[in-house]
Structure 1
Amino acid sequence: MSFQSLSFLAFLALTAIACGLLRRRSALAGQAALGAACLIFYLSGGGWAAFAVLCAGCAVTALAARAVDRAEGAARRRAFAAGSLYHVAVLLAFKYTGFFTGGALSIGWAPLGLSFFTFQQLWLLREVYMGRFTLQSPWALALASFFFPTVTSGPILRPSAIFPQMASDAFLRPDWTDAAAGLYGICCGTAKKVLLADPLGAVVGSGWSDLASLSATDAWLVILGYTMQLYFDFSGYCDIAAGAARLLGVRLPLNFDSPYRSLSVGEFWKRWHMTLTTFLRENVYFPLGGSRRGAWRTYRNILIVYLVSGFWHGAGWTFLVWGALHGLAQIAERAWGSRRERLPGWLQWGLTFLFVNIAWVFFRAPSLGDALTLLTTAFTGGVSLPGAWLMQSVFERETAAVGLLVPTLESAWLAWGKMALLYGAACAAALLPARSAARRMEDFVPPPAWRTALLALAAGWAVLSFTGITTFIYSNF
């Protein structure tokens, strides 16, 4: 069930109402209603086979967590290792068999949300092993693992971020502030996805489908377009997920905090997909030794962390290169040290933003050769006016309406106008606000009337544009 659909909005409304009413009778009744809703949501998108795989994973986690709690010494370590290895093996089997066998063998499908599910189970097992968390019941584990706002694309939840909330009196009993913040997040996320991410995706798709026709100007529009598309796509998803969770009395952790305003790659990763960064730091970087064993081991650990991040995103060399680039960039920043901080702020930002744009090329590219082709065109191709053909499938209905109103308007000028508005709005929304929508939701204060009206207009436009909207990018990971 897609977040950007009328069926999801109706499903969410019915779920929130049913859970709230039944929660008044008893906590168990409200949780049962939520469990039924989570089951319906997952089966509508993942199917029974995928559901069975994740259920088996929940069972393994519950058994391993129980064994870790009861055992001591080597037996405790073996229980933790066995549970963790099971989850890693399932993830590798479904997502990476084709990569490791060169395409000779592949399962051909993977359960919806498997990557996020796996990291969440691993995090829980490590917290149990470290003595920071005790799993009270398999039912609570299943409810947290299949919580429908997060089950497909996260955020990745630390146990302390979800289980205490599920045991609190506020669970499934949102107040009016929660409801208002939830609606605000859903409206912001929907507008980001439908009005910015998907139109930018159409430009990017057109460019990647015909690399030979791109000029240097077109290549940079494609590169910048994907940078903005990916942010608004995943940030929009997280806003909707956070909004849906607030309607159920749950506050999800912040996952994005204006990452494109960062002055370094290290800062970028403190603002981009923050729950993934935290998971990798606590479950990969620290166990490797972190920065406690000298500079060279620190550099090695950083590189390993970002190779893992790249490989987690996708089974391909392009993702590994993307991860390696980010790891090497952070190593270079550490080696540069305080001398980098003496640069003007605008130059630090410019270097960071340029690097992030270039690295995203490998994240999007079908192959390393295509990535190098696009970058070669960007740096050596001819400069010209933007290709109007890139905007051909963007806001088609709106374009047709303008054409009827102003029949003498040339199609090229109309395309360039759309391009200027789209890229201008995307850059302004990503770079100017010091506080993201998710940050505003934390201590929500109703926005001024003019901003509320503008958001309502954007959300209404987005809802009217639901037909033909693409799926969220991160649901593929």
Structure 2
Amino acid sequence: MSFQSLSFLAFLAVTLGVCLPLGRRTLRWGQAALTLFCLAFYVLGGGWAALAVLLAGAAVTVAAVRYLTSGGKPEKQRRAAAAVAIVWHVAVLLIFKYTGFFTGGAVDLGWAPLGLSFFTFQQIWCIKEVYTGAFRPESTGSFLLYDFFFPSVTSGPILKPENFFPQLTEGRFLHPTWEDAAAGVYAIAVGTIKKVLLADPFGVVVNNGWAQLEDLSAPAAWLVILGYTLQLYFDFSGYCDIAAGLARLFGLRLPVNFDSPYRSLSVGEFWKRWHITLTSFLRECVYFPLGGSRRGTARTYCNIFAIYLISGFWHGAGWTFIVWGLLHGLGQVIERFWGPGRDKLPRWLRWGVTFLFVNVAWVFFRAPDFSGALELLGRAVSGGLAKPEDWLLTDLFSKEIGAVELLIPGAADWVNIIRVVGLYGIGLLAALWPRNTITQMDRFRPTFWRGAVLTIGLAWSILSFTGITTFIYSNF
């Protein structure tokens, strides 16, 4: 079930209407009701077969956690139990998502459970934390809610157990304050606007460009490259805003997953700001166990490449994703090798180099194959300086533009300029603005003008729900 649909709004209203009153009477029954609604949400979005696969994984995790916390077990047996559970989750992920890749397409299941990649890493993180003693659950009765919490089950953020379970016994769970409600509605509205009015319009330009690569001039190619950079940001950032807002309506707080990543001055800083929970997982569950930076320079560089190889492969079963991950690994290795000398460069230059690198790397993330990626990058360098053709903007705000042309006949000559300057100008400003949604949630206070702007934007978004695509990261 897509967040940007009227059916989801109805689902949310019913869930809140049932769970919050029950939670005020008896927290146990409120939590049980919320868990059932989360399972129903997953079935509506992923189906019964997908739910069965993930329930089996959840049962494996619970069995491992109970064994690891039962006490009196030799360390060798505890390590074996944790390893068996982790191998199960990795095997399920590989079977459903990567069989086609490893067999060259000879064997392909054709489907994978919704949100399997996020679910797998979250289960591994939980097992690892219990094994090391960093987290010890009082019971496993809340694990289904942790596994299938509907705001985050399909596209994250990846929940660290000690950041989630303690909230279930705090006073705000199912007892949100008015400040929680205001912050939640604010984040949901902003996230919906990001997705519907920014991410998907950028997607129109990007899809048009990829459909006719051979006809792109250099300016048009850069519009496609920058368009995807902004599309992906507003798509995933918008999802995270909505997820954080939904959680706040139930009195819960999700971890910050975005912190203005396109303001970064280095590739290393970018990954501290982009998909923060994934970076944290890879650092704690892969990089540190491999030795981190404690075993010499060469080993450190190998460990960096390892985690970004995993990151690329986790995002997609294709060589282009692997290259994208290795490019980011290479970027971080170069920065470490360069050392403090890089920090002496002007801030604007460090930002420009980092932002250009991120844009170029995203080309491989979006490309269907190497030849397509290289062709787009080639057009960006040698495609000529002709202005972008009108077909690049086909279907971009077509209904809105049609209404403007009816009201102002003379505006037809300026329509394309207005669309490009308006969309890309607002997109860059919003992506680079330091006061992002998550940092503003706790400070948000309703005012007339804020309410008016958000209401207009949300109403425009709801009217545009028809034809809106799913979130990009739900494919991972």
Matches within 5 A, 1:406-425: 406-410=408-412, 413-425=414-426
| In structure 1, distance between residues paired with 2:109 and 2:445 | 49
| In structure 1, distance between residues paired with 2:363 and 2:56 | 37
Matched with 1:93 is 95
| In structure 2, distance between residues paired with 1:191 and 1:243 | 13
Matched with 2:466 is 467
| In structure 2, distance between residues paired with 1:259 and 1:426 | 14
Q: Which amino acid aligns with 2:57?
A: G
CA distances 1:158-180 after superposition (whole Å, capped 9, x unpaired): 00111111122221110101000
Instruction: Indicate conservation of the 8 Å contact 1:392/1:415, yes or no.
Output: no
Matched with 2:456 is 457
Q: Which amino acid aligns with 2:227?
A: G
CA distances 1:269-291 after superposition (whole Å, capped 9, x unpaired): 00000000000000000000000
| In structure 2, distance between residues paired with 1:26 and 1:447 | 31
Pairs aligned (count): 474
Describe the SS at the equivalent of 1:110: coil
Indicate whether 1:139 and 2:141 are aligned.
yes
Instruction: Indicate conservation of the 8 Å contact 1:119/1:156, yes or no.
Output: yes
Q: Which amino acid aligns with 2:242?
A: I
Instruction: Indicate conservation of the 8 Å contact 1:155/1:238, yes or no.
Output: yes
Indicate whether 1:129 and 2:128 are aligned.
no
Q: Which amino acid aligns with 1:418?
A: R
Counterpart of 1:374 (choices 373, 376, 393) is 376
CA distances 1:313-370 after superposition (whole Å, capped 9, x unpaired): 0000000000000000000000001000110000000000000000000000000110
CA distances 1:3-57 after superposition (whole Å, capped 9, x unpaired): 0011112211221221110012211110121012112211111010000000000
Instruction: Indicate conservation of the 8 Å contact 1:388/1:416, yes or no.
Output: no
| In structure 2, distance between residues paired with 1:399 and 1:451 | 26
CA distances 1:121-152 after superposition (whole Å, capped 9, x unpaired): 00000001101112333331111101000000
Matched with 1:51 is 51
Matched with 1:18 is 18
Larger mean CA deviation between 271-280 and 4-13 belongs to 4-13
Larger mean CA deviation between 9-18 and 72-81 belongs to 9-18
* TM-score of the aligned structures, taking structure 1 as reference length: 0.98
Counterpart of 1:302 (choices 294, 301, 304) is 304
Instruction: Indicate conservation of the 8 Å contact 1:43/1:51, yes or no.
Output: yes
Residue 448 (structure 1) shift: 5.0
Matches within 5 A, 1:181-200: 181-200=183-202
User: Identity rate of aligned residues, in percent?
Assistant: 63
Instruction: Indicate conservation of the 8 Å contact 2:19/2:33, yes or no.
Output: yes
| In structure 1, distance between residues paired with 2:412 and 2:465 | 28
Describe the SS at the equivalent of 2:409: coil
Instruction: Indicate conservation of the 8 Å contact 2:182/2:446, yes or no.
Output: no
Instruction: Indicate conservation of the 8 Å contact 1:62/1:135, yes or no.
Output: no
Residue 379 (structure 1) shift: 1.0
Q: Which amino acid aligns with 2:37?
A: A
Matched with 2:242 is 240
Inter-CA distance 444–14: structure 2 relative to 1 (3 Å threshold): farther
Matched with 1:438 is 438
Residue 435 (structure 1) shift: 2.0
What is the root-mean-square deviation of aligned Cα atoms in Å?
1.1
CA distances 1:400-444 after superposition (whole Å, capped 9, x unpaired): 111211234436x3122111101111001001x212101111x23
CA distances 1:155-212 after superposition (whole Å, capped 9, x unpaired): 0000011111112222111010100000000000000000000000010000001101
Indicate whether 1:9 and 2:9 are aligned.
yes
Structure 1 regions of 5+ residues with no counterpart?
A: none
| In structure 2, distance between residues paired with 1:448 and 1:19 | 29
| In structure 2, distance between residues paired with 1:42 and 1:73 | 37
Q: Which amino acid aligns with 1:468?
A: G
Instruction: Indicate conservation of the 8 Å contact 1:66/1:135, yes or no.
Output: no
Describe the SS at the equivalent of 1:312: helix
Matches within 5 A, 1:135-284: 135-284=137-286
Instruction: Indicate conservation of the 8 Å contact 2:62/2:143, yes or no.
Output: yes
Matched with 2:80 is 78
Instruction: Indicate conservation of the 8 Å contact 1:188/1:437, yes or no.
Output: yes
| In structure 2, distance between residues paired with 1:158 and 1:138 | 15
| In structure 1, distance between residues paired with 2:4 and 2:443 | 23
Larger mean CA deviation between 390-399 and 121-130 belongs to 390-399
Matched with 1:348 is 350
Matched with 2:38 is 38
Larger mean CA deviation between 166-175 and 332-341 belongs to 166-175
| In structure 2, distance between residues paired with 1:451 and 1:264 | 34
Q: Which amino acid aligns with 1:267?
A: E
Larger mean CA deviation between 461-470 and 65-74 belongs to 65-74
Structure 2 regions of 5+ residues with no counterpart?
A: none
| In structure 1, distance between residues paired with 2:305 and 2:64 | 30
Instruction: Indicate conservation of the 8 Å contact 2:46/2:114, yes or no.
Output: yes
Q: Which amino acid aligns with 2:93?
A: L
Instruction: Indicate conservation of the 8 Å contact 1:46/1:112, yes or no.
Output: yes
Q: Which amino acid aligns with 2:403?
A: A
Instruction: Indicate conservation of the 8 Å contact 2:218/2:380, yes or no.
Output: yes
| In structure 2, distance between residues paired with 1:149 and 1:377 | 40
Residue 447 (structure 1) shift: 5.5
| In structure 2, distance between residues paired with 1:138 and 1:44 | 25
Matched with 1:429 is 430
